[in-house]
Amino acid sequence: MERQGPLTVELLAYAPVAFFHCQHCELVWQPSGVGKSLRQEQLASSLPEDLRAEYQQISDWVREMIARYGDRIEFRIIDAASIEGWFKAVRYGIHKFPAVIVDHKEKIRGLDLDRAAASIRERLAERSLT
């Protein structure tokens, strides 16, 4: 029996953004620690408090799912405000974020992470039967 790859879980959400310099500049800034503090400040101020709290909840959930299922699932976190996020939203007909897309099929809109976890559990169970 051929082993299937990991279950793909795409998560579209507004994500904090940090900007990086070119590789050469990063090498110069890295020893001084300046780049790190600037990025931490950018991340802290890049989202309003409510979206930052939502993103933290999503991050905690992703960590929990990875701890539970390991390499059986593969997460793709996509910033809803990015071009890729826009294309995914159009492709899947998503108008509310965050959204979780399990196995390119089931769409869970909003912050219903329990439903998303149940969908992941069901898809993995289906895969183990085949």
The pTM (predicted TM-score) of the whole model is 0.73
DSSP structure string for the chain: -PPP-PEEEEEEE---------HHHHHHHGGGTHHHHHHHHHHHHSS-HHHHHHHHHHHHHHHHHHHHHGGGEEEEEEETTSHHHHHHHHHHT--SSSEEEETTTEEEESS-HHHHHHHHHHHHHHHHH-
Length reported for the chain: 130
pLDDT the model gives residue 26: 45
CATH class of the region 7-16+49-129: alpha beta
pLDDT the model gives residue 67: 95
Give tens-digit pLDDT for 21-37. Answer: 455 444 444 555 544 55
Give tens-digit pLDDT for 72-120. Answer: 999 998 989 899 999 999 999 999 899 999 999 999 998 899 999 999 9
pLDDT the model gives residue 19: 44
Give tens-digit pLDDT for 61-71. Answer: 999 999 999 99
**Arithmetic mean of pLDDT, 45-54:** 74
Strand partners, 7: 73
pLDDT the model gives residue 45: 53
Q: Judge whether residue 60 has pLDDT over 60.
A: yes
| Cα–Cα distance measured from residue 89 to residue 72, given in angstroms and rounded to the nearest whole number | 25
Cβ contacts of 18 within 8 Å, gap of 6 or more: 39, 42, 43, 46
**What are phi and psi for residue 9, nearest 5 degrees?**
-125, 115
pLDDT-derived band at 44 (thresholds 50, 70, 90) equals: low
